[in-house]
């Protein structure tokens, strides 16, 4: 995903979650700095983790605590 596309998606999601209230420029700068630093491999891995089924994630977490 290109930086400009990411910015648009981020701003739309932010507006949908928080309403029309304005966010400070520091918030956008921070997320874009993160975008610039994260490799595509790490970003893909994070997305795969977030897309997992919640019950599956909870079961994995329980197994970690049992062992």
Domain spans of the chain, in order of start: 3-66
Q: With a threshold of 0.75, does the pTM exceed it?
A: no
Question: Which pLDDT score is estimated for 62?
Answer: 92
The answer to whether residue 41 scores a pLDDT higher than 90 is: yes
pLDDT-derived band of residue 33, with 50, 70 and 90 as boundaries? very high
- Residue where the block lists tokens 């970690």: 64
Mean pLDDT for 23-45 is 89
Three-class SS state of 26: helix
Measured CA to CA in angstroms, residue 62 lies from 39, 48, 53, 57, 67 at distances of 30, 20, 15, 9, 9
Question: Which pLDDT score is estimated for 36?
Answer: 95
Question: Which pLDDT score is estimated for 22?
Answer: 63
The answer to whether residue 19 scores a pLDDT higher than 80 is: no
Terminal Cα-to-Cα distance of the chain (whole angstroms): 39
Measured CA to CA in angstroms, residue 5 lies from 24, 30, 32 at distances of 20, 16, 11
């Amino acid at each position: 995903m290109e930086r400009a596309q990411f910015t648009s998606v981020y701003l739309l999601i932010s507006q949908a979650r928080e309403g029309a209230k304005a966010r400070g420029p520091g918030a956008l700068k921070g997320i874009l700095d993160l975008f610039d630093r994260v490799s595509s491999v790490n970003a893909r891995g994070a997305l795969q983790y977030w897309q997992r089924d919640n019950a599956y994630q909870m079961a994995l977490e329980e197994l970690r605590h049992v062992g």
